[in-house]
Amino acid sequence: MCGVVGYIGDKEATSILIDGLEKLEYRGYDSAGLAVFHDGGIQIRKYKGRLSILAENIAEENLSSKLGIGHTRWATHGEPSDRNAHPHTNVAGNIAVIHNGIIENYMKIKEWLIEEKKIQFKSETDSEVIAHLIDHFYEGDLLQAVYKAIDKMEGAYAIGVICKDEPDKIVAVRKDSPLIVGIGEGENFLASDIPALLKYTRDMYLIENDEVVLLTKDKISIFNALGQEVKRDVFEVTWDAQSAEKEGYQHFMIKEIHEQPKGIHDTLMRRLDKDNNIILDGIKLTKQDLEKINKVYIVACGTAYHAGLVGRFAIEKFAKVPVEVDVASEFRYRDPFVDENTLFIAVSQSGETLDTLAALREAKRKGARIMSIVNVVGSSVARESHDVFYTWAGPEIAVASTKAYTTQMIAMYLLALYMGRTKNTIDKAYYDQTIAELKTMPDKVQQILNHVGEIQQLADAQFNNESVFFMGRGVDVNVAHEGSLKLKEISYINSFAIAAGELKHGTIALIEDGTLVVAVATQHHLFEKMLSNIQEVRARGAYVVAVAKESNKEVEKTSDIVMYIPDTMDELAPVLSIIPLQLLSYYIAVARGCDVDKPKNLAKSVTVE
How do the residues of the chain divide into helix, strand and coil, expressed in percent and rounded to 5? 40, 25, 35
Exposed e or buried b per residue across 226-251, where buried means at least 16 C-beta atoms within 10 angstroms of its C-beta: eeeeeeeeebebeeebeebeeeeeeb
User: How many other C-beta atoms lie within 10 A of the C-beta of residue 30?
Assistant: 20
| Spatial contact of 599 and 489, defined as CB atoms under 8 Å apart | yes
HEC secondary structure over 11-36: CCHHHHHHHHHHHCHHHCCCEEEEEE
- The SS3 of residue 490 is helix
| DSSP strands (E only) in 354-405 | 369-374, 387-390
Taking the C-alpha atoms of residue 21 and residue 3, their distance in angstroms, rounded to an integer, is 7
Strand order across the 180-183 sheet: 41-48, 31-38, 67-73, 3-8, 188-191, 180-183, 203-206, 235-236
Question: DSSP H helical segments within 424-494, as ranges?
Answer: 428-438, 441-449, 453-462, 475-491
DSSP state string for 518-549: EEE---GGGHHHHHHHHHHHHTTT-EEEEEEE
- Asked if the peptide bond before residue 322 counts as cis, ω within 30 degrees of 0, the response is no
594 is catalytic: no
Catalytic residue among 2, 163, 301, 594: 2
Q: How far is CA 52 from the centre of its chain?
A: 24
DSSP category for residue 320: -
| DSSP strands (E only) in 349-433 | 369-374, 387-390
DSSP state string for 35-96: EEEETTEEEEEEEES-HHHHHHHHHTS----SEEEEEEE--SSS-S-TTTSSPEE-TTS-EE
Q: To 5 degrees, how large is the angle CA 396–CA 285–CA 479?
A: 40
Catalytic residue among 169, 444, 488, 604: 604
Exposed e or buried b per residue across 274-291, where buried means at least 16 C-beta atoms within 10 angstroms of its C-beta: eeeebeeeeeebeeeebe
DSSP category for residue 359: H
Number of helices (H), then strands (E), belonging to the chain: the values are 19, 25
Taking the C-alpha atoms of residue 55 and residue 66, their distance in angstroms, rounded to an integer, is 17
Taking the C-alpha atoms of residue 326 and residue 299, their distance in angstroms, rounded to an integer, is 5
439 is catalytic: no
| Spatial contact of 493 and 584, defined as CB atoms under 8 Å apart | no
| Spatial contact of 546 and 577, defined as CB atoms under 8 Å apart | no
Which run of H or of E encompasses 290? Answer: helix 287-292
DSSP category for residue 510: G
Residues classed as catalytic:
2, 604
